[in-house]
A and B are shown apart, each in its own frame.
Chain A
Amino acid sequence: DTGVSQDPRHKITKRGQNVTFRCDPISEHNRLYWYRQTLGQGPEFLTYFQNEAQLEKSRLLSDRFSAERPKGSFSTLEIQRTEQGDSAMYLCASSFPRGRLSTGELFFGEGSRLTVL
């Protein structure tokens, strides 16, 4: 399977603990995005990388959140000192934009569902 893969698919943790999610994008895709989705809502943009550079971060991404893409391949999203409000589906997506002609299609992984007790 050469799609976007995310790990773990489900994570249950206690408030105050740290969690880390991993995303492996489609191999030739140089852009990688993290979105968060809560029940009844569409995905909300968190951050994105072009190769290893983090180019934009949403104001939703508090200082407890950090994302990395050290070698321009896989990415990790870490949440420190989790709160109940962090409970959501964390979606990773990748794309391969073709310059100014890019129409933005994203290929999503299956998501990592976080439950904070």
Chain B
Amino acid sequence: TQLLEQSPQFLSIQEGENLTVYCNSSSVFSSLQWYRQEPGEGPVLLVTVVTGGEVKKLKRLTFQFGDARKDSSLHITAAQTGDTGLYLCAGLLSDSWGKLQFGAGTQVVVTP
């Protein structure tokens, strides 16, 4: 059983559309991170959120950390083909010595 549940598992949209990916848990995290992974490569860190209710923007990407620090969302505005990839959320439990718990990921495909 995964500690972090991501939804949807797969998302296919056209260029210019918006999308939202969700990451939910019953556990409280001291921080939560989002990574993007491309085929055959390691995950690359996009953002870290720490404070409940925090919203961070990275160009067309908006990340939100839930008030209770149990969930997070990633919203992409006007998606581009370069946004295609596997989006992973990962949470840090307060007593975990830096060990991240990953969700299963959401595969996003943006078509021209």
Contact = CB atoms under 8 A, between A and B. Distances in A.
A39 to B, nearest CB: 11
Interface of B: 2, 4, 6, 30-31, 33, 35, 40-45, 48, 50, 88, 90, 92, 97-105
A45 B48 contact: no
A104 interface: yes
Interface in A36-93: 40-45, 48, 55-56, 91, 93
Contact of A45 (B43, B44, B100, B103): B100
Given A33-B99, A103-B50, A113 B40 contact: yes
Contacts of A40: 104-105
23 contacts: A33-B98, A33-B99, A42-B2, A42-B6, A42-B103, A42-B104, A44-B102, A45-B100, A56-B99, A93-B42, A103-B31, A103-B92, A104-B92, A104-B99, A104-B100, A105-B45, A105-B48, A106-B90, A108-B42, A109-B42, A110-B40, A110-B41, A111-B41
Identify the interface centre among A40, A42, A43, A44: most chain B CB within 10 Å of its CB: A42
Nearest to B50: A103
Given A42-B2, A103-B92, A31 B98 contact: yes
Nearest to B107: A40
Contacts of B40: 110-111, 113
